[in-house]
Amino acid sequence: MKLHRIKALFLRHLYPLKRDFDLLSDMLYWPLVDTLLWGITSQWLSEASGQASIALAILMALLLWNIIWRAQSEVSRNLIDEIWNNNLVNIFSTPLMVREWLFSVMSLSVLKTIFTLSVITTVVVGMWSANILFFGWWLIPFILAMVTTGWWVGFLSAGIILRYGPKMQTVVWTLPGMLLPFSAVFFPLERFPEALQYVSRIVPTTYIFETMRTIAAGGAVDWGTLSMSFVFNFLYLGLALWYFVSSFRYSTKLGLGRFN
């Protein structure tokens, strides 16, 4: 891999932030709206129930879900941007390799995730005095797991678009949403109907949110539960990368010009 090609593609997606309101709203507007909505809701639920841990768990869940959304968006959205701008053929007619593109968008997702997370964390701490640092070093595996989830969802979405064309671009927004109701983001796994619990148990984010709520309530961490998140995440990431590369090769055989 060549660093200058990775840097060039990185900057190519970074510069439009200066003038593209769609990108800025995706990074700031909707996360802030969600933060205000769930911040007020969590405060009300906490006061009504008399359990302060509810507010902390909901606000922390909001932060973690934004990590997933941001990480996946920078992978799949950047691909669809190239298609919308009729630029996919142009970039891959250069010496740019697929793994360089992958490394570039993954690096970009980390940078934008840090930016969005910094803004909404400031709002959460400033408006509701939520002690995010209550989770201590557990924040590191939580964030790593969420970023990994975002990546495999993004690569899966991008692979579907490459294989079936722009008509499937809706997966950029709908595929992450499919995980939301099965991830036990704002409520415990035991609240699910028994049949749906089997689905939730193969979703890696479920184990993170369950562990997060356990810590917020003052309980002990179950290492087996936490490790299941990483087992599923790495399995799905490997499969998603394989599917993306396979779809890219399939698409190049048909000709990338069909996206223009």
C-beta contacts of 92-99 below 8 A and 24+ residues apart: 92/252, 92/256, 94/5, 95/2, 95/5, 96/5, 96/9, 97/1, 97/5, 98/245, 98/248, 99/1
pTM here? Answer: 0.89
Whole-number average pLDDT of the chain: 86
Amino acid 10: pLDDT: 86
Amino acid 136: pLDDT: 84
Amino acid 148: pLDDT: 95
Exposure string (b/e) for 4-37, b if CB count within 10 Å is 16 or more? ebbeebbebbeeeeeeeeebeebbeeebeeebee
Amino acid 150: pLDDT: 94
Q: Is the pLDDT of residue 26 over 80?
A: no
pLDDT category, 260, cuts 50, 70, 90?
A: low
pLDDT in tens, 133-154: 788 888 999 999 999 999 999 9
Q: Is the pLDDT of residue 56 over 90?
A: no
Amino acid 52: pLDDT: 67
The more confident residue out of 149 and 42 is: 149
pLDDT in tens, 162-182: 999 888 888 988 888 888 888
Amino acid 21: pLDDT: 73
Q: Is the pLDDT of residue 60 over 80?
A: yes
Amino acid 259: pLDDT: 72
Amino acid 17: pLDDT: 76
Amino acid 211: pLDDT: 92
